[in-house]
């Protein structure tokens, strides 16, 4: 049994957690560079919490320049056990309307300009992301959202695009009609993959702001309308987060789905062939298996 630390990675519009006791902004150094910002830590209802603004306070980072590896490493280094991503997304489904939240369970990764793994030459590893989110953590997010009065949709495929531009009409129709995607965003990849490599449970909450560009009655994405919806969604998102400590508790059992053992058989490089410099950089994310 370990001590729970819930880490929230807040997307556009969410820059803090209400009600944190002993709230402190902490700078965390990582071998992957600086995280997006300092990390806000504290206690909420007897449970350790950490909050990281994905784009940095003031929205400094574009989706492409977010330092995803540093962010996940920093959270793991602080002792995070459960990571909840909260992000603004467009919807490909009429019933997933602006203001609704979707508990994502699958991804299609269309990003191309980002580092996507902690591993590589000198220490090779392959983790499974067949089921990239944690059902236990997703259950808690769904329950918290419903208790907060949010219209929640359980399950959905998130199309991760590079951005920063929004989709063309042709792309939007393809993602919706041919690929069967449900929501579209720019930030959950490679974040979810890196969380799996770091043996962290990960859940994704998509806060719907718009219908992308496929909807015949809404036309192209309007940033002004997105911001208006985003502000309301941010309040809902904070309400959801505040309910998580009571659902997850301070004492944490092993993940029943094996998220916290994802590296058990993933590292292929023989111990004598591993690059010491690479291994040193992996001390936080993979120390459990590399140091045994």
The catalytic residue positions are 210, 212
The answer on whether 250 is annotated among ligand-binding residues is: no
For residue 27, give the DSSP letter.
-
Alpha carbon distance 173, 145 (integer Å) = 29
Q: How far is Cα 202 from Cα 136, in angstroms, rounded to an integer?
A: 9
**Would you call 47 exposed, middle or buried from its count of C-beta atoms within 10 A (0-12, 13-18, 19+)?**
buried
Residue 211 is labelled as binding a ligand: yes
135-160 burial: b if 16+ Cβ within 10 Å, else e: bbbbebbbbbbeebebebbeebbbbb
Known binder of ligand: residue 147?
Answer: no
Among residues 246, 6, 14, the alpha carbon closest in space to that of 134 is found at 6
Both tokens of residue 42?
A: 């504290």
Cα 115 to Cα 283: distance, rounded to the nearest angstrom: 18
Tell me which residue of 5, 81, 72, 74 sits closest to 43, measured CA to CA: 5
Q: Any binding-site annotation on 210? A: yes
- 158 annotated binding-site participant: no
* CA–centroid distance for 203 within its chain: 6
Tokens encoding 210: 């718009």
Q: Tell me whether residue 12 is annotated as binding.
A: yes
> How many other C-beta atoms lie within 10 A of the C-beta of residue 68?
28
Measured in residues, the chain has a length of 292
Using omega within 30 degrees of 0 as the cis cutoff, is the peptide bond preceding 164 cis? yes
Q: For residue 182, say whether it is annotated as part of any ligand binding site.
A: no
The answer to whether 187 is a known ligand-binding residue is: yes
Annotated binding site: 12, 54-55, 87-88, 186-187, 210-212
Which residues fall in the annotated binding site for substrate? 186, 210-212
- Which residues are annotated as part of the binding site for phosphate? 12, 54-55, 87-88, 187
């Amino acid at each position: 049994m370990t001590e729970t630390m819930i880490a929230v990675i807040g997307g556009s519009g969410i820059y803090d957690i209400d009600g944190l006791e002993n709230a402190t902004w902490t700078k965390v150094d990582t071998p992957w560079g600086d995280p997006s910002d300092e990390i806000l830590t504290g206690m909420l209802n007897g449970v350790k919490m950490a909050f990281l603004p994905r784009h940095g306070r003031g929205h400094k980072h574009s989706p492409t320049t977010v330092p995803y590896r540093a962010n996940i490493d920093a959270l793991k280094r602080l002792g995070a056990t459960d990571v909840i991503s909260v992000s603004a997304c467009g919807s490909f489904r009429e019933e997933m309307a602006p203001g609704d939240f979707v508990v994502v369970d699958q991804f299609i990764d269309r990003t191309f300009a980002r580092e996507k793994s902690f591993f590589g030459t000198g220490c090779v590893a392959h983790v499974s992301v067949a089921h990239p989110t944690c059902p236990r953590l997703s259950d808690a997010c769904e329950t918290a959202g419903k208790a907060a009065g949010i219209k929640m949709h359980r399950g959905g495929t998130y199309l991760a695009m590079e951005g920063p531009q929004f989709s063309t009409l042709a792309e939007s129709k393809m993602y919706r009609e041919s690929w069967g995607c449900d929501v579209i965003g720019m930030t959950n990849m490679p974040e979810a993959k890196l969380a799996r490599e770091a043996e962290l449970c990960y859940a994704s909450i998509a806060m719907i702001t718009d219908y992308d560009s496929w909807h015949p009655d809404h036309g192209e994405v309007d940033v002004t309308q997105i911001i208006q919806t985003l502000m309301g969604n941010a309040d809902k998102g904070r309400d959801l987060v505040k309910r998580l400590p009571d659902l997850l508790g301070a004492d944490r059992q092993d993940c029943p789905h094996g998220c916290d053992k994802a590296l058990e058989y993933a590292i292929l490089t023989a111990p004598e062939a591993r690059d010491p410099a690479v291994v040193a950089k992996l001390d936080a994310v993979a120390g459990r298996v590399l140091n045994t």
